[in-house]
A and B are shown apart, each in its own frame.
Chain A
Amino acid sequence: MAVNAIDRTRRLLSLVTYLRDRPGARVDEVARAFGVTSDELISDLQVLPMCGTSFRGGDLLDIDTDGERIWWYNAEAVGDDSGRPLRLAADEATALLVAARAVATLPGLRDSDRDALLRATAKLEAAAGETAAASSRLSVTFESEGGVFADIDRAIAERRRVRIRYYSPGRDQLTDREIDPIRLFAVGHTYVEAWCRRSEARRTFRLDRVTSIEVLDTPAEPPPVEPRDLSAGLVQPAAGDPQVVIEVGPAGRWVAEYYPHDTAEELADGGLRITLRTADPTTLRRLALRLGGDGRIVSPPALADSAREAAREALAAYGG
C-alpha cells in the first residue's frame, strides 16, 4: 500500500498515544498492533524526534529505540490531551461500522460472534457520536444460506468431513460429493473453499447451490494447500484454459460485468467483442441460449454449433 503523508500522520498520532502508556514497549509487539513491519515502525520512530510542540521552546519528542524496545524520555512534552487517542474520523467510523454491520447480517453466523459484533458496533456508534451518521450512506449485504453456513462453520471448527449435494449451473446437474472444508468466505455470495474428495482437487462451492448437507464423523484431512488469493477475483482462469470469443449487442453488455474476461473490445453498434478463458467451454452453451439475439459465440466453432443444435432441438417442442 502506498504510504501517503496523511495516512502516516494518522499512524504517528496514534503511535504517540500508544507509546505514552507503554514505556519500554517491544518493537515487534507495537508493529503488530499497528499492522506494519518492524522496519516501517523503526522508520516512523525516526520521524517522531523531529516532532513536538516547539512553540513552547523546542520541546521535541525524545523517543529512541535500540531496535528491540522503545523508550520515550519526555512523555510529558505532548501534554495530557495528546495522551488520549484522537476521535474517529468520519471515514474511519464508516469503514468499521459498515463492515461490522454487514458481517453481523450473515445468516448462519455463530450467535456468540453475532452478539460480539453487535455489542462492538453499538459501543463504536456511541463513541463516534455524530461522526457515525455518514456510515448509514454506505451499506453491504452478504447473501448466505444460514443452515449450510452453520454446518460448514461447525465442520471447520471440529475438522470434520462433509457430504453435500451440489448444483452446477453450467451443466444443470446435481452431484453428490464429500468435501473437507478449509474456509468460508463471502464476496457478495458466501462460498466454502474445500478439498473435494470426488475430484481430488481444491474446489470452491457457493453455499446457495448446496441443496443438502451432512456433517460426517470422518475427520477432514485436506492436504496442505495455500488458501487462494481472493484479491485477484473469484474466478481465475488458468493460462492454458481454452479461449472463447463472444460478440454481444448493446443489450448483452452485462456479460462483461459478470464474466471475468481477458479483453472486451467496443464494437461499432455499441456492443462488445469479449474474449475469455474457461476450463470447460461447454458450460457457456447456456449463456448462448440465454443471450438469444443479444449475442453469439464466435469461437470455438464447436461450441457455437452445439448452441445452435440445442436451440433447434428445443424449438421442435414448440412445433417449429
Chain B
Amino acid sequence: MAIAKAERLMNLALCLRGASRPLSKRELRGSIEAYIEAGGEEAFNRMFERDKDDLRELGMVIETVESLDGDTGYIARPDSNRLPPLSLDPAEAAALGLAAKVWQQVRLAGAAGAALQKLRAGGMPETADAEAPFSALEPRIPAGEASFEPLMIACRDRRPVLFEYRKANAARSTPRVVEPWALECWRGHWYLAGWDRGRDDQRVFRLSRITGKVRSRGGDFTAPVPDRVTVRESVAAWAGEHATGQARIRLRTGSGYPLRARATSLVEGSDGWDELELPHGHGLGAWLAEFGPDLVVLEPAELRADVVDRLRAVAKG
C-alpha cells in the first residue's frame, strides 16, 4: 500500500515539476496510471486533493491557475520549488549532521533526516563520522508526550486547540481552549505558551499535564500574538528561580552543598553548624525540608512555619 501511494505521489510530483504549462486535472488523470484506475470521478477527486496536500507537506508549492475556458490548471513552478543554491563547507555539514540527530520525536527526526537528504542531493559534502567535530557530544531532545505533535502543528498553522489539562496540584482536569503560540523545551520538559480563551489571558502549560487528546478548533486566533514569547521566564518564576526576599538558615557543617553554592553570605560556626543567607523564592520551603535534621530555618517566620508543617506531616505519617 505504501509503495503504491508513494509511486502515485512521485508521478504527480514529476508531472507537476516537469510541466512547462499548467496541467489540467483531466490531463493529469490521463497520464498517471493510479488515477486512471481510480474509479469514479468522486473517488479520483478525493484522491487528487489529498495527494496535493501531501506534496505540499513535502515542501512543494503547487499553483492553481484558471485558464480562459474555465478549466483549472496545476503547476509547480521551478523558481518557487527549487532549493536555492547553498554552499556548505565540511564543518557546516557536520554541524547540520549533528543537529539532525538531536530529535527523539519521530516526526521531527524524520523531517531533519529528509532535510539532510535534500541538502546532500544539492551537493552538501558528506562527512565521515570519524573525522567529524562534535564526536563526543550527543545532544538529545526528548518529546515523549502524545500532545507534542498536534501542538507543534497547531503552533505552525496558528490553529486554536482544545485539550484537558490537570494543573500540578489539581485533583481533576479541566477543558481549555487555547490559541497556541510556541513550544519550548527547558530542562528536558516541554511547555506550551498561548492565549487561554476561557481565562482570557496568556498561560503556560506543561505538556506532561495534558490529559487525553489535543483537538483542533476551527477559526482564527482572536488575540494578538506577542513578538516574543517567553515561556522560560514564566516557568523559571514558578520554579522559584526569582527571589522575593532573603532567608537565614543554620546548616550542619559539611552538608547542603547546593545551598552553600547559592548563599549570599556564609558564617562558619565552631559548634558544627554554619549560618547562611539565601535568596528566598517560591518553593524554597519544600527544598529546605529535604535536608531534615541537618538544617534549621531561622527566618522569615512564614518559611520557618512552612518547613515545620512539612516535617510535622512526615513525623505523624
Instruction: Give the interface of A toward B (CB within 8 A).
Output: 1, 3-18, 21, 32-35, 47-48, 50-56, 78-82, 84-96, 98-100, 102-103, 106, 109-110, 112-113, 116-117, 119-120, 123-124, 126-127, 129, 131, 134, 136-143, 153, 156-157, 167, 169, 172, 174, 181, 183-189, 211, 230-231, 250-251, 253-254, 257, 269-271, 285-293, 296, 304, 307-308, 310-318
Contact A314 B293 (CB under 8 A): yes
Interface residues of B in 275-310 (CB under 8 A from A): 286-287, 289-296, 304, 308-310
14 interchain pairs (CB within 8 A)? A5-B6, A9-B6, A14-B120, A35-B116, A81-B78, A92-B59, A99-B103, A117-B95, A120-B99, A127-B83, A188-B187, A254-B168, A270-B171, A311-B311
Shortest 9 CB-CB distances between A and B: which pairs? A188-B188, A270-B171, A292-B310, A89-B59, A55-B31, A293-B313, A5-B5, A92-B115, A95-B112
Which A residues touch B150, using CB under 8 A?
A: none
The 8 Å CB contact of A112, one of B30, B133, B185, B256, is B133
B68 at the interface (CB under 8 A from A): no
Contact A138 B155 (CB under 8 A): yes
Given the contacts A87-B83, A172-B291, A79 and B111 also touching, CB distance less than 8 Å: no
Given the contacts A99-B112, A117-B95, A185-B137, A139 and B78 also touching, CB distance less than 8 Å: no
**Chain A residue at minimum C-beta to C-beta distance from B171:** A270
B18 at the interface (CB under 8 A from A): yes
Which A residues touch B60, using CB under 8 A?
A: 86-87
Contact A113 B95 (CB under 8 A): yes
Query: How near does chain A come to B115, taking the closest CB pair, in angstroms?
Result: 4
The stretch from B7-15, B40-48, B196-204, B263-271 touching chain A is B7-15
Q: Mark B172-191, 1 if CB is under 8 A from A, else 0.
A: 10000000011111111100
Query: How near does chain B come to A165, taking the closest CB pair, in angstroms?
Result: 9
Q: In the docked arrangement, what's the CA distance between A70 and B108, Å?
A: 30
Apart from A1-B106, A84-B78, A167-B257, what 16 extra A-B contacts exist at CB < 8 Å? Answer: A6-B58, A13-B10, A33-B117, A33-B126, A35-B117, A47-B3, A81-B17, A96-B115, A137-B156, A138-B155, A141-B185, A141-B232, A142-B139, A184-B137, A253-B169, A311-B292
Contact A136 B182 (CB under 8 A): yes
Contact B107 A91 (CB under 8 A): yes
Given the contacts A85-B83, A106-B139, A290 and B133 also touching, CB distance less than 8 Å: no
Which A residues touch B185, using CB under 8 A?
A: 102, 139-141, 188
Instruction: Give the interface of B toward A (CB within 8 A).
Output: 1-3, 5-7, 9-11, 13-15, 17-19, 23, 27-28, 30-33, 54-55, 57-61, 78, 80-84, 86-89, 91-96, 98-100, 102-104, 106-123, 126, 133-134, 136-142, 152, 155-156, 166, 168-172, 181-189, 206, 208-209, 229, 231-232, 255-258, 261, 286-287, 289-296, 304, 308-315, 317
The 8 Å CB contact of B290, one of A8, A81, A88, A290, is A290
Q: In the docked arrangement, what's the CA distance between A156 and B135, Å?
A: 9
The interface residues of chain A, by DSSP majority, are classed as helix
The 8 Å CB contact of B315, one of A174, A187, A311, is A311
**Chain B residue at minimum C-beta to C-beta distance from A131:** B59
Contact B189 A292 (CB under 8 A): no
Which A residues touch B104, using CB under 8 A?
A: 231
Which A residues touch B156, using CB under 8 A?
A: 90-91, 94, 134, 137
Which A residues touch B140, using CB under 8 A?
A: 185-187, 230
Q: In the docked arrangement, what's the CA distance between A127 and B82, Å?
A: 10
Which B residues touch A10, using CB under 8 A?
A: 58, 114, 117
Which B residues touch A257, using CB under 8 A?
A: 189, 206, 208-209
Which B residues touch A8, using CB under 8 A?
A: 2-3, 6
Q: In the docked arrangement, what's the CA distance between A5 and B47, Å?
A: 14
Which A residues touch B54, using CB under 8 A?
A: 5-6, 9
Q: In the docked arrangement, what's the CA distance between A32 and B88, Å?
A: 19
Contact A315 B168 (CB under 8 A): no
Query: How near does chain B come to A18, taking the closest CB pair, in angstroms?
Result: 4
Which A residues touch B106, using CB under 8 A?
A: 1
Which B residues touch A292, using CB under 8 A?
A: 286, 289, 309-311, 313-314
Which B residues touch A94, using CB under 8 A?
A: 108, 111, 156
Contact A17 B122 (CB under 8 A): yes
Contact B312 A88 (CB under 8 A): no
Contact A50 B7 (CB under 8 A): yes
Q: In the docked arrangement, what's the CA distance between A109 and B136, Å?
A: 11
Which A residues touch B141, using CB under 8 A?
A: 99, 102, 140, 187
Contact A137 B121 (CB under 8 A): no
Query: How near does chain B come to A29, taking the closest CB pair, in angstroms?
Result: 8
The 8 Å CB contact of A53, one of B18, B98, B117, B186, is B18
Which A residues touch B120, using CB under 8 A?
A: 14, 18, 33-34
Contact B182 A96 (CB under 8 A): no
**Chain A residue at minimum C-beta to C-beta distance from B91:** A116
Given the contacts A14-B114, A88-B59, A102-B141, A296 and B95 also touching, CB distance less than 8 Å: no
Contact B91 A289 (CB under 8 A): no
Given the contacts A85-B122, A91-B107, A54 and B17 also touching, CB distance less than 8 Å: no
Q: In the docked arrangement, what's the CA distance between A317 and B273, Å?
A: 12
Query: How near does chain A come to B164, taking the closest CB pair, in angstroms?
Result: 14
Q: In the docked arrangement, what's the CA distance between A141 and B138, Å?
A: 14
Q: In the docked arrangement, what's the CA distance between A126 and B87, Å?
A: 12
**Chain A residue at minimum C-beta to C-beta distance from B55:** A9
Which B residues touch A181, using CB under 8 A?
A: 136
Query: How near does chain B come to A138, taking the closest CB pair, in angstroms?
Result: 5
Which B residues touch A55, using CB under 8 A?
A: 15, 19, 23, 27-28, 30-31
Contact B114 A308 (CB under 8 A): no
Query: How near does chain A come to B151, taking the closest CB pair, in angstroms?
Result: 10
Which A residues touch B139, using CB under 8 A?
A: 99, 102-103, 106, 142, 185-187
